[in-house]
Amino acid sequence: MSREPRTVPPVANQRIDLVGTRVGLREFTRDDLDGVYRIVGDERVTAHLAFDARTRDDAGAMLDAIMERARAEPRSEYHLAVTAKGEGTSDEVVGFVRLGLTGVRAAKLGYAVAADHHVRCLRVQLADVRIR
């Protein structure tokens, strides 16, 4: 007896907002330019990524493209802002995560975290939010 694969119908323009104990994942806004630039403009971070450090203008163009792709129907990727949670934190972007949909119930995962937040082990916390 074979089972049919379970499918979940997509929800058009559904806003993503996930909160863990130490980090949150949410959609990007134009107000995130400073945080995005702090990540993609830092050679300490981009040394581990597939691209070199970017200018502030490049970061703005990247952010615009991310927000445009978030409005696509159906969505083929999810670029989400990573924010630190806890005492004394704000909604400031300290990283990003990208899920590029590649097939049925599969995605490629990429992420970057601002250099000054590596010490806080946000990558481990990010995995915790993603798994839940």
- pLDDT given for residue 2 in this prediction: 46
Please give the average per-residue pLDDT across 74-100, as a whole number. 85
Task: State which of 54-58, 89-93, 127-131 shows the largest mean pLDDT.
Answer: 54-58
Identify which has the larger pLDDT, 3 or 91: 91
Question: For 11-65, what is each residue's pLDDT tens digit?
Answer: 555 788 888 877 889 999 999 999 999 999 999 999 988 899 999 999 999 999 9
CA-CA distance, 47 to 49, in Å (whole number)? 6
| Beta strand extents in the chain (DSSP E only) | 17-19, 23-26, 77-84, 93-103, 106-113
- pLDDT given for residue 28 in this prediction: 96
Provide the 3-class DSSP secondary structure of residue 62.
Answer: helix
Please give the average per-residue pLDDT across 91-110, as a whole number. 88
Q: Which residues pair with 97 in a beta bridge?
A: 80, 111
Helix-, strand-, coil-residue percentages of the chain, each rounded to 5: 35, 25, 40
* 130: pLDDT strictly greater than 50: yes
% pLDDT > 70, the chain: 76
* 122: pLDDT strictly greater than 70: no
